[in-house]
C-alpha cells in the first residue's frame, strides 16, 4: 500500500513523510508523540490494524486488518485555538468529496464529522489539539474509513463499510492519495481565510442534517432542534421548540436523527 501511495502522491507537502505500521495501538496516539519530535507538517501515520483505535466521546473504534484506512495527519495550523475545531469539518469535507469521486456512491456528511452512506456510518474523524509550552498549536486529525469491512458486530447497528453498501471492493491507496490532495487544497484555503464561510455552500450541499430535526446531546442535556444552516465558524444553527435559535459548537456534542442514527 505504501509504495502505491508514494508513487502516486500529487501533494506539495501533505503525506510526504509517512510512518507506516502493520500494527499499532492508535495512529492518533503515535502522531501526538511525533509532535514532540517536531516532525514536518503533513506527516501521515498509517496502520493496517489498530489495537486500541479511539473514537469520539471516549468510544472505541473498530480497526480490523486489511479492510480499512486508519490514519492520522500532523498539522501546525496558523490558527487560533477557537478556529481549530472547523478543521475537522474541512477534513470531513475533503474525505467526502474524495470518496464520492472514487466510488460514485452517494456519500453524505453528518455534522460535525461522520460520513454516511445509506444512513449508516462509514467514516469517522477524531481531531486532537495539542498546545505546546510556548502556546504553539499542533493538531492531529485522525480518520477512520471502513472500506472493505465484510461485516460489523450487531452491537454496532449504525456502522457499515463501502463494501457492505455497494458490494464492491475499493483500493485503499487510491482513496488515501485522492484524499491527501483534496485535503491539502482545502486546508490551505482554510488556513488563509481562517473562517468557514467559503466552505458553507460545499458543506451544506453534502450535509444530511440541513432542514431536519435532530436530537442534540451535550453531557446530560438532550433536546430537539431543527437544523437551519452552518455558520461561518462551522457551527450548526438550530431552531429549538421554544422558537429560540442556538448555535451548536462541534466540540463534545453528539447529534442523532429523531428517527434513527441520521
Ligand atoms: C469517531 O467517529 O468516533 C471518530 C473515529 C476516528 C477513528 C480514527 S482511525 C485513525 C485514528 N486513530 C484513532 O485511534 N482514531 C482515529
Each residue's pLDDT expressed in tens, for the chain with a length of 262 residues = 999 999 999 999 999 999 999 999 999 999 999 999 999 999 999 999 999 999 998 899 999 999 999 999 999 999 988 899 999 999 999 999 999 999 999 999 999 989 999 999 999 999 999 988 888 899 999 999 999 999 999 999 999 999 999 999 999 999 999 999 999 999 999 999 999 999 999 999 999 999 999 999 877 788 999 999 999 999 999 999 999 999 998 766 678 887 778 8
**Ligand 1 site residues, Cβ closer than 6 angstroms:** 26-28, 50, 53-56, 59, 61, 63, 70-72, 114, 124-126, 142-144
As given in the structure block, the three cell numbers for residue 41 are 507538517
- pLDDT at res. 253: 66
Q: How far is the centre of ligand 1, averaged over its atoms, from the C-alpha of 239 (Å)? A: 30
4 close to 20: Cβ distance less than 8 angstroms:
no
- pLDDT at res. 251: 67
Instruction: Give the atom of ligand 1 at the shortest distance from the alpha carbon of 54.
Output: 14
Cα atoms found within 13 Å of the Cα of residue 90, Cβ hemisphere only: 30
Instruction: Give the atom of ligand 1 at the shortest distance from the alpha carbon of 52.
Output: 14
Q: How far is the centre of ligand 1, averaged over its atoms, from the C-alpha of 20 (Å)? A: 16
Instruction: Give the atom of ligand 1 at the shortest distance from the alpha carbon of 121.
Output: 2
**pTM given for the model:** 0.96
Q: Report how far residue 175's alpha carbon sits from residue 121's, in angstroms, rounded to the nearest whole number.
A: 17
The contacts of residue 81 (CB under 8 Å, 6+ apart) are: 129, 131, 137
- pLDDT at res. 4: 97
Q: Report how far residue 123's alpha carbon sits from residue 114's, in angstroms, rounded to the nearest whole number.
A: 6
Instruction: Give the atom of ligand 1 at the shortest distance from the alpha carbon of 68.
Output: 9
Which H or E element spans position 206?
helix 197-206
Residue nearest to atom 15 of ligand 1 (CA): 54
- pLDDT at res. 250: 76
124 close to 96: Cβ distance less than 8 angstroms:
no
Q: How far is the centre of ligand 1, averaged over its atoms, from the C-alpha of 217 (Å)? A: 20
Given strand 245-248, what is the order of strands in its sheet? Answer: 245-248, 236-240, 221-230, 213-218, 254-257
Q: What are phi and psi of 191, to 5 degrees?
A: -65, -35
Nearest of 260, 217, 258, 261 to residue 236 by alpha carbon: 217
- pLDDT at res. 257: 81
Q: Report how far residue 137's alpha carbon sits from residue 180's, in angstroms, rounded to the nearest whole number.
A: 21
- pLDDT at res. 255: 83
Residue nearest to atom 7 of ligand 1 (CA): 144
Q: How far is the centre of ligand 1, averaged over its atoms, from the C-alpha of 125 (Å)? A: 5
Pairing of strands 44-50, 18-24: parallel
As given in the structure block, the three cell numbers for residue 84 are 481549530
As given in the structure block, the three cell numbers for residue 202 are 460545499
DSSP letter at 113 equals T
Nearest of 177, 69, 86 to residue 127 by alpha carbon: 86
- pLDDT at res. 134: 80
Residue nearest to atom 3 of ligand 1 (CA): 55
Amino acid at each position: 500500500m505504501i509504495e502505491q501511495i508514494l508513487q502516486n502522491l500529487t501533494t506539495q507537502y501533505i503525506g510526504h513523510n509517512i510512518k507506516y505500521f502493520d500494527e499499532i495501538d492508535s495512529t492518533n496516539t503515535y502522531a501526538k508523540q511525533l509532535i514532540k519530535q517536531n516532525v514536518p507538517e503533513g506527516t501521515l501515520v498509517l496502520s493496517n490494524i489498530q489495537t486500541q483505535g479511539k473514537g469520539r466521546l471516549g468510544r472505541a473504534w473498530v480497526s480490523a486488518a486489511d479492510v480499512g484506512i486508519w490514519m492520522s495527519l500532523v498539522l501546525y495550523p496558523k490558527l487560533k485555538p477557537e478556529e481549530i475545531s472547523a478543521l475537522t469539518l474541512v477534513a470531513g469535507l475533503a474525505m467526502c468529496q474524495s470518496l464520492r469521486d472514487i466510488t460514485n456512491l452517494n456519500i453524505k456528511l453528518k455534522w460535525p464529522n461522520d460520513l454516511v452512506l445509506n444512513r449508516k456510518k462509514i467514516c469517522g474523524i477524531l481531531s486532537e489539539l495539542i498546545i505546546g509550552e510556548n502556546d504553539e498549536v499542533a493538531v492531529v486529525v485522525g480518520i477512520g474509513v471502513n472500506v472493505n469491512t465484510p461485516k460489523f458486530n450487531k452491537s454496532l447497528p449504525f456502522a457499515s463499510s463501502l463494501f457492505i453498501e455497494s458490494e464492491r471492493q475499493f483500493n485503499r491507496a487510491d482513496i488515501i492519495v485522492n484524499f491527501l490532495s483534496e485535503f491539502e487544497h482545502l486546508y490551505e484555503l482554510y488556513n488563509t481565510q481562517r473562517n468557514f464561510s467559503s466552505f458553507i455552500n460545499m458543506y451544506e450541499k453534502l450535509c444530511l442534517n440541513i432542514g431536519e430535526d435532530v436530537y442534540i446531546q451535550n453531557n446530560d442535556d438532550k433536546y430537539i432542534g431543527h437544523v437551519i444552516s452552518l455558520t461561518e465558524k462551522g457551527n450548526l444553527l438550530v431552531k429549538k421548540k421554544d422558537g429560540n435559535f442556538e448555535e451548536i459548537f462541534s466540540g463534545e456534542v453528539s447529534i442523532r436523527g429523531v428517527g434513527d442514527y441520521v
